[in-house]
Chains A and B, each alone.
Chain A
Amino acid sequence: MIICSNCKHSNLDGAMFCAECGAQLVGREDLTTQNITTKQFEEANKERPSTSDVYQPFDGSDAWGSLHLLDTGQVLPLSVRNEFTMGRISEGQPIMPDIDLSPYQAYAAGVSRLHGVIKRDGNKIIFMDLGSANGTYINGKRLTPNVEQTLNHGDIVALGKLKMQILVRNS
């Protein structure tokens, strides 16, 4: 199933335009092609996480936990707020996730625009999948969408194929 981002109609897998509203479903980002060398590509990836629209914690000292991205080795601290939605920002999207994973190849890894939410409830860390297309796996087990699941320190959470380790700081 492909859910149209415009009208929420469910289209058959392999559809390229929404049967209901005619919006394009695939390949949006690839409409204009550009030749990029591998070097440029890597540089672009290095730069992007530091731009202002990406979630930026202060210094991580008062973070209650952090996400360790296994593929790139980067660590995203979670602080200030108690709840973060995760996903990737793409054009024309009505609801933005708090943590944008698109700089970490989220599109290729199959992360949904609004994939899941991670929150703190007292000392517990809770994760909930928000009905993502490719699902969330905790230590290899798929979560039921919209059901909360407690996380422990060191758990591996995979949003689609984007794997990250949960690091919890016990205060």
Chain B
Amino acid sequence: MLFNKLDYYAVLGVFRDASQEEIKHAYFESAQRLHPDKNVAAGETEIFLEIQKAYEVLSNPKRRVLYDATLPPEIEANSVLKHEVIFSRPNLVKLSEQQLVYVLLEIGARTEKESLPTPPLNLCLVLDRSTSMQGDKMDMVKATAIQLLRSLRPEDVLSIIAFSDYAEVIVPASLNIDNKKQENRIQMIQASGATEIFNGLQAGLKEIRRTLDPSRVNHIILLTDGQTYGDEQACLKLAEEAASMNIGITGMGIGNDWNDIFLDALAGKTGGSSAYISKPKDIQRLLVDKFNTLISTFADDVLLEFKTSEHVQLNYVFRLQPEGGCVVLESPMHLGPILRDTPLQVLFEFLVNSPALAEDVVALLNGSLKASITVRPTPVPPIRFNLSREVQVNPSHEPPPTRMLSALSRLTLYRLQERARVSADQGQYDAASRHLQNLATHLLAQGENSLAKTALLEADNLERMHAWTANGSKDIKYNTRALLIADKKEKPR
């Protein structure tokens, strides 16, 4: 058995030197999540009792000392996860100006992929059925939903919600369902009404909670083709609620009339990301891809709790893989999932202000990484995540690490696109157009000719019409994002 040596600290998910406060906090958090009143899944109650036992011992200082004495010395290596940190430079330089440091974090499963069980799914499809979905899009969505339903394994749960200005449960979350009957219900979905994402999301969350189980991959896929009006903030609140219950959200937008920034923010709250479906015929491929990704989940989400030091600013955080996407800058930070065969890679950009350089060592960030492993409901011990750099008088001449360079060079294209978006939103169309032209130059150099052409067309359009073409900004955004992992996924299917 892999996970047999669990001490009380690991059970609560705290460090050995945790304060009483931290222990209390961790206990309340897991107790809330695993309380028998809320959870029906088999085995949960035992875990809950274990957490209580752990808390009873550790919350009492005398008993804690006695217990500590029985523990073997702490082994630093984490038995479940391995992680690696790469810095862009070996040290900071004593300068009177601001400087940047990049940090690349890779965190993955320590065990070989073959020996890990595949987790069962608890998946909810939240489908937009507003009037605009009529025709190709709706037919394709229905066909794909039926295909997914048929491809479920006996242990998987799939619920389906259709929403317009109200939401309707098409397929309820349940383990043994009559496929024939459900397929008929899916076929009956009619397109009509407006798009109100909040309604759909709320119904989806309610449905998925009926079979909520930490040992499953709990995930909502929201499929929409339109803008939602006025309920964005409420949606983001729901996403936060989902994140606190370890439910992931993926947003998929069809066509050109949906709000990609909103869907990114929504999915980002749970460590997920959004995807762009330019043509109805891609719906099937993208949904099935997503389905397969979910099946190979190792950890739903990696949570980073952190503090940066004074004079150090965390500028930008981007997940390079498994699914590229911006990470929302807040603590705790949802970094994203770890797949069985694909570790999580996240790039951090720190801005160091000169007052910080008065010290010999600058602590960039202090925090801890927590992952909830899908096949294992008890918390794994957190990983300490402290980043610091020495300050030296002279710059180092060491070349930057190759992996850092290649990660940044891929990300640079995406960021150029982001800058073009920002400039255009501020009405600086010539700046936006210049960014796109620069982007096109790099794309051409990399042989991405058709995308380069799109970028040039948009640059031209921005200059003359002061607006993006219908698909332009999304085409460029999601295609440059796809380039982030392009060189990894070249192997034929």
Among A26-34, A141-149, A150-158, the stretch in contact with B = A26-34
B462 to chain A, nearest CB (A): 17
Contacts of B439 in A (CB 8 A): 22
B409 contacts A13, C-beta separation under 8 Å: no
A12 at the B interface (CB under 8 A): yes
Contacts of B98 in A (CB 8 A): 12-13
A74 at the B interface (CB under 8 A): no
B438 contacts A16, C-beta separation under 8 Å: no
Interface centre among A7, A16, A19 (most CB of B within 10 A): A16
Contacts of A20 in B (CB 8 A): 435, 438
Contacts of B441 in A (CB 8 A): 21-22
B95 at the A interface (CB under 8 A): yes
Closest residue of chain B to A16 (Cβ to Cβ) is B408
Cβ proximity bits A1-45 to B, threshold 8 Å, 1 near / 0 not: 100000100001111110111101011011101000000000000
B438 contacts A13, C-beta separation under 8 Å: no
B95 contacts A21, C-beta separation under 8 Å: no
A16 contacts B404, C-beta separation under 8 Å: yes
B264 to chain A, nearest CB (A): 21
A150-B381 Cα distance, complex, nearest whole Å: 67
B443 to chain A, nearest CB (A): 10
B216 at the A interface (CB under 8 A): no
Closest residue of chain A to B431 (Cβ to Cβ) is A20
A19-B415 Cα distance, complex, nearest whole Å: 8
A67 to chain B, nearest CB (A): 23
A7 to chain B, nearest CB (A): 8
B102 at the A interface (CB under 8 A): yes
A69 to chain B, nearest CB (A): 19
B101 at the A interface (CB under 8 A): yes
B399 at the A interface (CB under 8 A): yes
Within 8 Å by CB of A13, from B93, B400, B416, lies B93
A27 contacts B400, C-beta separation under 8 Å: yes
Contacts of A95 in B (CB 8 A): none
B234 to chain A, nearest CB (A): 36
B397 at the A interface (CB under 8 A): yes
B413 at the A interface (CB under 8 A): yes
B442 at the A interface (CB under 8 A): yes
Closest residue of chain B to A17 (Cβ to Cβ) is B412
B99 at the A interface (CB under 8 A): yes
A17-B409 Cα distance, complex, nearest whole Å: 7
A67-B402 Cα distance, complex, nearest whole Å: 37
Cβ proximity bits B400-421 to A, threshold 8 Å, 1 near / 0 not: 1010110011001101100100
Within 8 Å by CB of A22, from B93, B351, B352, B412, lies B412
Contacts of A108 in B (CB 8 A): 397
A12-B412 Cα distance, complex, nearest whole Å: 15
A35-B178 Cα distance, complex, nearest whole Å: 65
A30 contacts B438, C-beta separation under 8 Å: no
A27 to chain B, nearest CB (A): 5
A1-B419 Cα distance, complex, nearest whole Å: 20
Closest residue of chain B to A108 (Cβ to Cβ) is B397
B435 to chain A, nearest CB (A): 8
A16 contacts B405, C-beta separation under 8 Å: yes
Q: A22-B438, A26-B400, A108-B397 are in contact. Are A13 and B405 (CB under 8 A)?
A: no
Closest residue of chain A to B439 (Cβ to Cβ) is A22
Q: Can you list 22 pairs linking A and B with CB atoms under 8 Å apart? A: A1-B97, A7-B438, A12-B97, A12-B351, A13-B98, A13-B99, A14-B89, A14-B92, A14-B100, A14-B101, A15-B100, A17-B409, A19-B419, A20-B435, A22-B412, A22-B413, A22-B439, A22-B442, A27-B399, A29-B399, A31-B402, A33-B402
Which residue numbers of A lie inside 8 Å of B, CB to CB?
Answer: 1, 7, 12-17, 19-22, 24, 26-27, 29-31, 33, 108
Which residue numbers of B lie inside 8 Å of A, CB to CB?
Answer: 88-89, 92-93, 95, 97-102, 351-352, 397, 399-400, 402, 404-405, 408-409, 412-413, 415-416, 419, 435, 438-439, 441-442
7 residue pairs, one from A and one from B, having the closest CB atoms: A30-B399, A14-B100, A13-B99, A14-B99, A17-B412, A21-B438, A27-B399
